[in-house]
Amino acid sequence: MAENSTEHKKSLHFIEQLIEEDLKIYPHIVTRFPPEPNGYLHIGHAKSICLNFGMAEQYGGYCNLRFDDTNPIRETIEYVEAIKKDVEWLGFEWENELYASEYFEQLYEWAVLLITKGKAYVCNMSVDEIAESRGTPTIPGKESPYRNRSVEENIDLFARMRQGEFADGECMLRAKIDMTSPNMHMRDPIMYRIRHAHHHRTGDKWCIYPMYDFAHGESDFIEGISHSFCTLEFEVHRPLYEWFLEQIAEPGQRVPKQREFARLNLNYTVMSKRKLLQLVEEKHVQSWDDPRMPTISGLRRRGYTPESIRNFSAKVGVSKRENVIDVALLEHCVREDLNAASPRIMAVLNPLKVVLTNYPENESELVYGISNPEDEQSEKRAIPFSRELYIEHTDFMEDAPKKFFRLAPGREVRLKYGYIIKCEDVIKDDAGNIIELHCTYDPKSKSGSGTEESKRKVKGTIHWVSIADAIETEVRLYDRLFSVENPLNAEDGKDFLEYINPDSLQITRALVEPSIKGVEVGYKCQFERTGYFCVDPDSTQENLVFNRTVSLRDAWAKQSQKK
């Protein structure tokens, strides 16, 4: 038994271990996901969402969605709505939808309580002066000349700050802790600053706004959060988080625990909301949900499934060490999911016309394709076959090397689900460009017809569409948005915008088998031998638009096989 429990413990990540210990004293665990509504959520947030909601679910507690809306300047309702949509889409249900701005009155009262206890004061230094007087980790800070104001004066000044008597930046409320603390965050941190700005929920009611460090832990406390998970850069803030709670909690009262985990970093992209906003505002991408963005909405539009993102998050795991995850892992996760669930369709992106000279004119027939080889229950689809077809230009080579197992003059190839054809003649225009192939087909070789000839093996199988039946669509081929692994810190140190991949979007057309008729926005399929695609919201009745989610080639699987 003892051995078992050691084994069990070893298999847990550090947060699970912490919670299992705490469950001995806590009735249940309560977590929160606390986005600031100043942008759309990205894949890094997905990790935090999976952790916060995941832990609550795993240990029979619940998770709140709390908007950390304490900075009115960049926050909007559009962002609030987008965040809710993304969390829901990922498959999580919050217990309560909450807003830190609803706690402004309580936070104000607690700030007054701190003043009363002699633990906070109004400081008239400017932000720059405060920064300068703070010292460095090795040089102690200098005390503010306003530090020893009386409680009465501080209460009066703080009330007048609230009433709007002062301009932005004229004064602030600071905690009175220790200007010589080795932890810079403890050197009289700012608690409130003046911002004469309209807030998307509280309107013009407030002109003073609490800083993150003061608002966050107190909001956790109000909501009865047991564990407040945040990213590693907040580890040095933890003493301050605990200090504020100590000031306001009754003796013996349980307070939330802040614990830190490594943030998710992904190569070939940027994840800071400020940088993402810049990409949108300066029109380097279409929108927040541009399929090249690392946002949840971008990934959704690109064709990612919620399962693939949750699996990715699970594979990345929870740790205390920062590292950079290869975007190939994310792509691997979506391939894995789409491979299992996607219907197969044939589409030609780069067409070359093939005429089957021995196939009767004005006739056609149906051949039958498997909808999804990964799904035994999937039905067969009927695909029209006729004398004039398109194949992929890259599936033909005039001077082909021996190992080229596709079509070449005098060689045979199987048309998937159809017949074996042989290239007899290459037709060119005056400039010498190949415009058409004349081929013959072997009428007895039809796939699945049961005859000996139908089982005849040739080296290659290629996809095709019947010209008369194909549906023409737009196709958007996406590649990585940046051409270097770490655009924010590349070796030659240019601005990240200079590393935008000029070929991150290629728009082309495709000829698709008619089974796709009537599909709707969001529909996902595999274009056989090409990649996974989904229907973009830009589609109209006349012009279906497909986004390439990911190609079929799996760099990640190859890499991990090698290891």
Residues belonging to the active site: 36, 263, 273
* Ramachandran bin of 226, using left for φ above 0, alpha for ψ from -120 to 50, beta for the remaining angles: alpha
| Binding-site ranges for ligand ATP (CB under 6 A) | 34-36, 44-45, 47-48, 68, 230-231, 263-264, 271-273
Task: Pick what 310 binds: ligand ATP, Mg ion, none; C-beta below 5 to 8 Å, kind-dependent.
Answer: none
Tell me which residue has its CB nearest to Mg ion: 36
Site string for Mg ion, 22-41 (x = CB under 5 A): --------------x-----
Q: Residue 222: which region, alpha, beta or left (left: phi > 0; alpha: psi -120 to 50)? A: alpha
The residue type found at 410 is G
Q: Which is nearer to Mg ion, 36 or 424 (CB)?
A: 36
Output the smallest distance, CB 488 to ligand ATP, in A: 12
Q: Residue 299 touches which of Mg ion, ligand ATP, none (CB < 5 to 8 A by kind)?
A: none
| Distance, CA of 345 to CA of 434 (rounded, Å) | 26
From Mg ion, ligand ATP, none, which one binds at residue 238 (CB under 5 to 8 Å depending on kind)? Answer: none
Residue the block writes with tokens 């107190």 = 218
Task: Using the minimum distance from each CB to Mg ion, give the nearer residue, 48 or 311.
Answer: 48
**Residue number with CB closer to ligand ATP (75 or 513):** 75
Q: 231 vs 350, which CB is nearer to ligand ATP?
A: 231
Q: Which residue type occupies 439?
A: C
**Strands of 62-67's sheet in order across:** 30-33, 62-67, 97-99
Residue 122 interacting entry, from ligand ATP, Mg ion, none, C-beta within 5 to 8 Å by type? none
Residue 185 interface partner, choices Mg ion, ligand ATP, none, CB cut-off 5-8 Å depending on type: none
Distance between CA atoms of residues 234 and 131, nearest Å = 19
| Alpha-carbon gap, residue 387 to 421, rounded angstroms | 11
Do residues 261 and 318 lie in contact, with contact meaning Cβ atoms separated by under 8 Å? Answer: yes
Q: What is the dihedral of CA 370, 447, 459, 477, to 10 degrees?
A: -40
Residue closer to ligand ATP (CB basis): 48 or 530: 48
User: Could you give the residue ranges of the DSSP H alpha helices within 342-413?
Assistant: none
φ/ψ of 316, rounded to 5, equals -65, -35
Q: Which of 476, 466, 471 is nearest to 441 (CA)?
A: 466
CB of 528 to Mg ion, least distance (A): 44
What is the separation, in whole angstroms, between the first and last Cα of the chain? 35
Contact 275, 488 (CB under 8 A): yes
Helices 327-341 and 555-562, packing angle to 10 deg: 110
Nearer to Mg ion, 22 or 36 (CB): 36
State the nearest-atom distance from the C-beta of 86 to ligand ATP, in Å: 12
Nearer residue to ligand ATP within complex by CB, 106 or 278:
278
369 binds, among Mg ion, ligand ATP, none (CB under 5 to 8 A by kind): none
Q: To the nearest whole angstrom, how small is the minimum distance from the Cβ of residue 53 to ligand ATP?
A: 12
Residue 303's binding partner out of ligand ATP, Mg ion, none, with CB under 5 to 8 Å set by partner kind: none
Residue 111 binds: one of Mg ion, ligand ATP, none (C-beta under 5 to 8 A by kind): none
Tell me the residue length of the chain. 563
Which residue, judged by CB position, is nearest to ligand ATP in the bound state?
A: 44
Determine the Cα–Cα distance for residues 52 and 65; give it in Å rounded to an integer: 10
- Number of residues lying near Mg ion (CB under 5 A): 1
Q: Residue 434: is it exposed, middle or buried by C-beta count within 10 angstroms (0-12/13-18/19+)?
A: middle
Q: Which is nearer to Mg ion, 16 or 36 (CB)?
A: 36
Q: Which residues contact 130 (CB under 8 A, 6 or more apart)?
A: 123, 144, 172, 174, 190
Enumerate binding residues for Mg ion (CB under 5 A): 36
